C-alpha cells in the first residue's frame, strides 16, 4: 500500500489547510483546561506547539497529547460546522472512496470477520462507532449478511450512510442511551477515532456502560511509539490539531483500558505505511540514519523494514481488541 493511494497529497493538503484555518475560527477564543496524561495521570512535559495547540509527552508512559485542551463544546461545534469537516465528509471521502474500499476496508472487514470467528462472536450485533462514509459497514454487511448499527455524529456523513440503507444513530457515543441499542451481545468497532477523542476516559466509561460483560471492543488508533511519528514528530501530518489530540501506544493504551474496566486481549501494530510516509517527507527527517536509509534503500529493503516495524509493535498504526470484564 502507498500513502498516495488512500490520501492523495493534493486533496489531503487542502484538507489540512482548511483545518489549520478552522483552528482560529473555532479554538482561538475557546477556554482551555490543563490536564494530566490521559493514560496514567502523570504530569506531561512540553513536546512542541503546533498551530497554537500545545502537545505534551508523558515521561512515564510516553503518551503524546494536547494539553491544555480546549473545552468539549468547541470540538462539538467544530465537527458539526467547520469547513474542513465538510470537506472531509464530501470531497475527501468521495474522491478516495474506491481506493480506500479496496486497500483498507475490504481487507479490514475480512480481518474483523476472522477475529470475531476466533472469539465465537459472529452472532454479536456489530456497532460501528464513527462509521464515516459507511465503506466498512457496507463491506462488513456483505460478509456477514447481517444488519449492523452505525453511530455517526456528522450530519453530512450520517446522511451518506442512510443513503446506503445503513441504520444510523446520529449522535456522539457520549450521547447514546441504553435504549438506543439492542439488549444482546455486541461488538463495538472504532477505526481511526480514538486519537480524535476529547476525553478518552469519558468515552470508555460511557462505552462500558453500554456493554454487557464479555462484549468486545475492537479499535484502531495512532501510536506515539510508531516510527514515522517518532521521526517526523511535530512535522508529522498525523500530528494535526484540532483532529488528533491523543497518541497512545501499546503500553499506555493497556494502562487506560485496565483502569476503565476492560481486559486487553490483543494489542498489535499491523501498519503498512510508516516507511512510505517517511519517503514522502524526506526533507523533514533530521535523523541521519533514517535519512540515509530512506534515500538509499530499494523496495525490498523498505518492505523488510515495514514488516519488522509491524511485528515489533513499532508501527504508528495500532489495533486493540479488548472485552468488558
Q: Report residue 170: phi and psi, to 5°.
A: -90, 75
Specify if 203 maps to a domain. yes
262 forms beta bridges with 324
**Kind and range of the H or E run holding 265:** strand 262-268
Three-state secondary-structure class, residue 143 = helix
All residues at 6 or more sequence positions from 296 whose CB lies less than 8 Å from its CB, including other chains: none
Specify if 142 maps to a domain. yes
| Enclosing domain of residue 222 | 97-324
Q: How many CB atoms lie within 10 A of CB 103?
A: 16
Predicted TM-score (pTM) of this structure: 0.91
Specify if 176 maps to a domain. yes
Phi-psi region of 120 (alpha: psi -120 to 50; beta: other; left: phi over 0): left
* Closest of 201, 206, 177 to residue 258, by C-alpha: 201
| CATH number (domain holding residue 223) | 3.40.50.150
Q: Tens-digit pLDDT profile for the chain (325 aa)? A: 788 888 888 888 998 899 999 999 999 999 999 999 999 999 999 999 999 999 999 999 999 999 999 999 999 899 888 999 888 877 887 788 888 899 899 999 999 999 999 999 999 999 999 998 899 999 999 999 988 999 998 887 899 899 999 999 999 898 999 999 999 999 999 999 999 999 999 999 999 999 999 999 999 999 999 999 999 999 999 999 999 999 999 999 999 999 999 999 999 999 999 999 999 999 999 999 999 999 999 999 999 999 999 999 999 999 999 999 9
Specify if 36 maps to a domain. no
Specify if 1 maps to a domain. no
Query: Which sign, positive or negative, has the C-alpha torsion 19, 20, 24, 29?
Result: positive
Q: How many structural domains are present in the chain? A: 1
Specify if 72 maps to a domain. no
Rounded Cα gap, residues 159 and 157, in angstroms: 5
* Closest of 194, 171, 10 to residue 91, by C-alpha: 10
Amino acid at each position: 500500500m502507498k500513502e498516495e493511494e488512500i490520501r492523495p497529497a493534493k486533496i489531503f493538503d487542502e484538507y489540512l489547510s482548511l483545518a489549520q484555518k478552522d483552528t482560529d475560527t473555532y479554538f482561538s477564543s475557546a477556554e482551555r483546561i490543563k490536564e494530566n496524561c490521559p493514560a496514567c495521570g502523570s504530569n506531561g512535559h512540553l513536546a512542541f506547539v503546533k498551530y497554537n495547540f500545545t502537545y505534551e509527552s508523558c515521561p512515564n508512559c510516553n503518551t503524546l497529547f494536547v494539553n491544555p485542551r480546549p473545552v468539549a463544546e468547541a470540538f462539538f461545534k467544530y465537527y458539526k460546522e467547520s469547513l474542513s469537516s465538510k470537506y472531509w465528509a464530501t470531497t475527501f471521502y468521495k474522491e478516495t472512496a474506491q481506493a480506500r474500499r479496496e486497500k483498507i476496508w475490504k481487507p479490514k472487514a475480512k480481518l474483523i470477520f476472522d477475529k470475531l470467528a476466533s472469539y465465537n462472536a459472529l452472532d454479536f450485533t456489530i456497532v460501528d462507532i464513527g462509521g464515516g462514509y459507511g465503506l466498512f459497514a457496507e463491506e462488513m454487511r456483505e460478509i456477514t449478511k447481517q444488519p449492523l448499527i452505525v453511530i455517526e455524529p456528522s450530519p453530512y456523513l450520517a446522511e451518506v450512510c442512510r443513503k446506503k440503507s445503513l441504520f444510523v444513530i446520529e449522535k456522539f457515543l457520549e450521547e447514546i442511551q441504553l435504549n438506543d441499542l439492542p439488549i444482546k451481545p455486541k461488538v463495538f468497532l472504532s477505526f481511526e477515532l480514538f486519537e480524535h477523542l476529547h476525553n478518552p476516559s469519558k468515552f470508555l466509561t460511557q462505552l462500558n456502560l453500554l456493554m454487557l460483560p464479555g462484549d468486545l471492543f475492537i479499535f484502531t488508533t495512532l501510536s506515539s511509539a510508531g516510527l514515522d511519528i517518532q521521526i517526523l514528530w511535530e512535522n508529522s501530518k498525523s500530528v494535526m490539531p484540532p483532529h488528533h489530540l491523543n497518541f497512545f501506544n501499546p503500553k499506555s493504551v493497556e494502562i487506560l483500558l485496565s483502569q476503565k474496566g476492560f481486559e486487553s486481549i490483543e494489542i498489535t501494530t499491523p501498519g503498512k505505511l510508516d516507511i512510505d510516509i517517511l519517503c514522502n517527507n524526506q526533507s523533514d527527517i533530521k535523523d541521519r540514519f533514517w535519512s540515509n536509509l530512506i534515500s538509499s534503500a530499494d523496495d525490498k529493503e523498505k518492505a523488510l523494514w515495514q514488516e519488522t516495524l509491524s511485528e515489533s509493535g513499532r508501527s504508528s498504526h495500532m489495533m486493540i481488541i479488548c472485552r468488558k470484564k
